Every structure is written in C-alpha cells, then in structure tokens.
Amino acid sequence: MGRMQRLDVRGKTSVITGAASGMGAEIARELARRGARLALIDRNADGLATLTADLVGAGHTTHSVDLTDDVAVFELASEIEAAHPHVQTLITCAGSSMLGDISQVTMEEMRWLMDVNLWGTVNITQALLPAMRRERAAHITHLVSIYGLAAPAGRIPYAMSKFAVRGFTESLRHELERSSVTVGAVYPAGVKTGIILHGRYAAAIDPAVAQRAAAAQAQMYHTEPADAAKRIVEATLRRKTRTMVGREARLVDILTRLTPTHYWGPMRRPLREAIDTTTPIA
C-alpha cells in the first residue's frame, strides 16, 4: 500500500479546521506555498475571506460552520467532497481554552469546551474519513496540546478535552493501521497565538483576575506560529504519529515519562501565576 510514503500535496486537498486565525491560518499559508488546494473551515467567515485573499495558488474554498453542530458538519463534508475530489489531509486546529478551577467552572461550561475541543474534532474526522479512505495515501493530524500529556491544576476542562482528543487519535490510528489513512497527534507548547487571551473563562471568575492569569500564561509562549506551522506541516507530510512542537513540549514529554505520578511538582512553580484564578487584584 505504500503506507508510510511521504505525501505530495501538489494538486491534492488539505482540510483545515480553525483556519481563520492562529495556527490554522499559518498552516494554511504553509500548505498553500507547497501547492496544496485548501478547504478552510471556521466559524469566522470574514477571517476566512481575509486569509484566502492572501493565499498563493487557486482552488481554495472556505466553509463557515459551527463544529459543534454535527448535522452541519456532515453536510459540510459532502460539500467539500463535491468541490475537492482528492481529500488527502485533515488538520484539526479548531479549539478554545477555559480558565477556572473545579469550584469555579460549571458543568455547562465544561460541556461547552468538550463540544468544541473533542466533538468538533471527532465529527469532522468521521465525516471526511470515507473520502480520505479513497486516496492511495492520506493523513489526519490532530492538534492536541502539552496538556494532553500533563494535566495542570486550574485547567480541568481543557486537560480533559485534550486527553480525550489524544485517546481518540490513538484509537483511530490503531483502527486504521491496515488502511491507506494514517493518523498523528501534534503536541504544541508555547506557541504565540491568541488562544489563551481570547479563550473563555468561568463566569464565576473576576474578569480582571482571569485576564491576569491568561497574560501570565501567554508570557510563557515562545514559539512563533509560522515556525510551528512548518513543523506541523512537515509532520503531516511525513505522516508522523507523534510530534512535539516547542522546547517545553519535549521537556513535558520527558517529565511525564520519568515521573508519571509526580510531574506536577516541577511544573507547579512556573505555572503558579497562570493557574491563579482566585487571588483578588490588589
């Protein structure tokens, strides 16, 4: 089957969720430069239009959809297949964050984040998989997070959703191991996107306190989005099963392997301000 052959994206279609901004937009630019046709998905139609106007190449399409709407997602898959006869790669970048400890977040807030981060990844994957199976070689890349490797305090909803995406990705990879479709997970850390600053926080938190925590987290981000995008695209083309992006990701990966029950000790101090959603603003 040539299962692990390197992919050639020229003339083939890459589907990207969360494409209007952040990592999704940078990955779209990188793939367009390499000659891919793109099907770009995001709730932000204006952001998609702005991005598409700057992309090299032709044949790109944009699709404004709420990934928490399963019916709309499966209808979207048919729309994409009609416009793109060769869906070769799917890269899921759509997601959000959630600040708050267990006493602050509500069940509704946690379910919302799970709908966005987990089910919005599962449904688009399931919907596009039949088209991808028809290709001689195809690859699915799910962006997870280092918080799918290590679960910090103050991030229960986010860590739950990312550990679930990791589990979905690994199970799917095993199910498809004798097919033409390979599956990989990317674990980014510290990429300078706006996810933490524009993410949600529990309604019970003082907005000023939430912004302080988000800003502290953002200060820990060092990797440029364009650099991360190149690494993610390369991992996709090489059909890698597991990719760390950023120095912190590699460190956390090692730490959780060395001490799976005590990794929080060395992580607690660097994250102390980023997880503090209770201390009032002086």
Name the residues annotated as catalytic: 158
Task: Please tell me the distance from the alpha carbon of residue 243 to that of residue 161, in angstroms, as a whole number.
Answer: 19
Task: Please tell me the distance from the alpha carbon of residue 132 to that of residue 140, in angstroms, as a whole number.
Answer: 9
Task: Please tell me the distance from the alpha carbon of residue 181 to that of residue 137, in angstroms, as a whole number.
Answer: 6
List, as one string, the DSSP characters of 178-192: TSSEEEEEEEE-SB-
Cα 4 to Cα 87, 134, 238: the distances in Å are: 17, 16, 8
List, as one string, the DSSP characters of 79-141: HHHHH-S-EEEEEE-----EE--TTT--HHHHHHHHIIIIIHHHHHHHHHHHHHHTSSSEEEE
- The contacts of residue 176 (CB under 8 Å, 6+ apart) are 182, 183
